[in-house]
Amino acid sequence: MPTPDGVLWDREPHTEAKHRLYRLYLQAWFPILLRTFPRGVTYAEGFAGPGEYTGGDPGSPLIALRTALLAQPGPNKDRPAYFIMVEKNRRRLEHLRHVLTRELGDLRSEALLRRGLVIDLRSGDCEDILPDLLARHRAHTRPLLVVLDTFGSAVSFSLLRHVAASQGAEVIVTIQPQHFARFASDPNHFGDRVFGPTVWRDVQTRPSHEKADYIRTRYRRTVQEAGFRYVLDFELADEKNNLLYLVYGTNHRTGVVKMKDAMWSVDPISGIGYRDPRDPRQQMLPFDLAADTAPLRRLLLEHLTGLPTYRATVGELHEFTLLGTIYKATHTTAAVASLMADKKLRNVTGGRLTAASTVEPTGIEPLF
C-alpha cells in the first residue's frame, strides 16, 4: 500500500481484516492482564495515524481504547491502562487528539485517571521518541503490547530489541517484502537497520519467485534474534494476491494461543483470507471457524516424515501446529483423525486417540 499524503485516507479491505483481528485479540488481552497484573497494562503505537478513516471507521488507537473500556475487568485508577501514541505527521496527530476528545470528552490527565486511563500523544519519529516514552511511563513494569504498523518498511532492529527487553512485551509489526527485495544491492538501503545481525542481502541471488519468501524467513529470524521467543507470522491476502505481512512476537505461549483464537474468529470479509508464509504450497484460506485442514494434513505428514523415527505423539503435533503453522492447536486432532481415516496415519499405541497417542505414517519403516 502506498503511503497516503493526506490526513485521512480510505480504509483498505486488508486494513479492515487487520483491525478485526486486533479487536478480537485485545478483547482477550485487556481483561486477562488487567485481572492478573496489579500495575495495569500499556498499549503503544509507533505509527498511530489520525484515529479514523475517511468513511468514519475507527483506526487502531480508537479500537484499542474502546476495547479496554469495555473489558471486564476494565482499567481503574489503581490499575490503569496506559496508551502511548506516536505519530510523525503533526496534522494526523492533532486529528487523533480530536478523535479521542470526541470519544472521551476530556483529555486532561486528572479526568483520564478517574477513568483508569493514561494517554500520552507525541509527534515525532517513532524510532527516536517511543523508547523514551516507554521508559518514562515505566512500561517495563507491566504487560506491554506495541503495534508498529508501518506502510511496509518495518522498524529498526534496535527498536525491536528495546521492546523485547521487557519480558512482558509483545509486538505486532507489518512489513512488505518488496521494500527489501527490490533494492537490496543499494549499499545505503535501510534494510541493514531493520534486519540487524540477520543476513538479508543474499536475496539478490534468489530467483524472483523466491525473493519474498526469503525476506519473510529472514525477518522471522530477526524478530526472534531481537528477543521474542515465539513468532507468529501470516499474510492477509486478497484474490489478486496482494499481501499484507503481519508478524507477532511474544515471550508467552498463551499469547500465541490467543492470537490464533482471534485469527480464526474474524468474521468473513469478501475477497480477503489468510496465507501461511511458512507453507509455499498453500493457497488463500478464508476466515472460517470450520477451517479447511487439507493444508494442515499435508504439513503434519511432511513433519512426521522429517523426524528420525517418523513418529510423534498427538500432543507433540499440537505443539507443531501451534508454533509452526497458521492453524490452531485444536485443529490438530481432527486433521490426525482424518489422516487415519484415509489410512495415511496409524495409531501405534492403539486405543482411543488422545494427546499421548503416538502416530506414524503408514507404509514407512522407522529408521530405529
pTM value is 0.94
> In which element (H, E) is residue 336 found?
helix 332-341
In the numeric block, the cell 488463500 is attached to 284
pLDDT band at residue 364, thresholds of 50, 70 and 90? confident
Q: Do both 303 and 328 map to the same domain?
A: yes
Average pLDDT rounded to a whole number, residues 235-246: 82
- Burial-class residue 202 by CB neighbours within 10 Å (0-12, 13-18, 19+): exposed
In a domain, 2, yes or no: no
Question: Over the range 87-110, which residues count as b (16 or more CB within 10 Å of their CB) and which as e?
Answer: bbbeebbebbbebbeeeeeeeeee
**Could you report how far apart the first and last alpha carbons of the chain are, in Å?**
52
Last residue of one domain, picked from the residues 286, 308, 323: 286
Q: Do both 79 and 151 map to the same domain?
A: yes
Q: Do both 279 and 180 map to the same domain?
A: yes
% of the chain exceeding 70 in pLDDT: 98
Can you read off the three cell numbers belonging to residue 288? Answer: 472460517
Q: Do both 64 and 202 map to the same domain?
A: yes
Tens-digit pLDDT profile for residues 124-165? 999 999 999 999 999 999 999 999 999 889 999 999 999 999
Last residue of one domain, picked from the residues 286, 312, 335: 286
Tens-digit pLDDT profile for residues 292-325? 889 999 999 999 999 999 999 999 999 999 999 9
Computed over every residue of the chain, the mean pLDDT equals 94
Can you read off the three cell numbers belonging to residue 267? Answer: 468474521
Last residue of one domain, picked from the residues 252, 286, 320: 286
Q: Is 101 left (phi over 0), alpha (psi -120 to 50) or beta?
A: alpha
Tens-digit pLDDT profile for residues 65-103? 999 999 999 999 999 999 999 999 999 999 999 999 999
Q: Is 234 left (phi over 0), alpha (psi -120 to 50) or beta?
A: beta
The answer to whether the Cα torsion of 138, 104, 248, 29 is positive or negative is positive
Q: What is the CATH number of the domain that holds 278?
A: 3.40.50
Can you read off the three cell numbers belonging to residue 231? Answer: 513468532
Helix axes 157-164, 126-136, angle to 10 degrees: 10
Triad 269, 66, 123: Cα angle to 5°: 100
> In which element (H, E) is residue 87 found?
strand 81-87
**Residue span of the structural domain in which 353 resides:** 294-361
In a domain, 342, yes or no: yes
- What local confidence, expressed as pLDDT, does residue 2 receive? 63
Q: Do both 182 and 67 map to the same domain?
A: yes
- What local confidence, expressed as pLDDT, does residue 366 receive? 55
DSSP 250-273: ES-HHHHHHHHHHHTTPPPBTTEE
In a domain, 4, yes or no: no
pLDDT band at residue 223, thresholds of 50, 70 and 90? very high
Residue from 170, 279, 273 nearest 231 by CA: 170
Q: Do both 197 and 330 map to the same domain?
A: no
CA distances from 364 to 81, 301, 305, 336, 345 (A): 55, 11, 8, 17, 10
Contacts of 350 (CB under 8 A, 6+ apart): none
Q: Do both 78 and 219 map to the same domain?
A: yes
Q: Do both 320 and 171 map to the same domain?
A: no
d(CA 104, CA 100) in angstroms, rounded, equals 6
Read off the DSSP letter of residue 117: E
Q: Do both 255 and 325 map to the same domain?
A: no
- What local confidence, expressed as pLDDT, does residue 264 receive? 93
In a domain, 8, yes or no: no
Q: Do both 226 and 121 map to the same domain?
A: yes
d(CA 179, CA 244) in angstroms, rounded, equals 12
CA distances from 2 to 6, 10, 71, 198 (A): 12, 12, 35, 26
The domain total for the chain is 2
User: Which amino acid, 342?
Assistant: D
In a domain, 6, yes or no: no
Q: What is the CATH number of the domain that holds 329?
A: 1.10.10
In a domain, 171, yes or no: yes
d(CA 338, CA 300) in angstroms, rounded, equals 11
Looking at per-residue confidence, does 243 or 344 come out higher?
A: 344
Q: Do both 204 and 330 map to the same domain?
A: no
In a domain, 7, yes or no: no
Per-residue pLDDT at 365 exceeds 90:
no
Q: Do both 168 and 19 map to the same domain?
A: yes
pLDDT band at residue 235, thresholds of 50, 70 and 90? very high
In a domain, 64, yes or no: yes
Per-residue pLDDT at 240 exceeds 80:
no
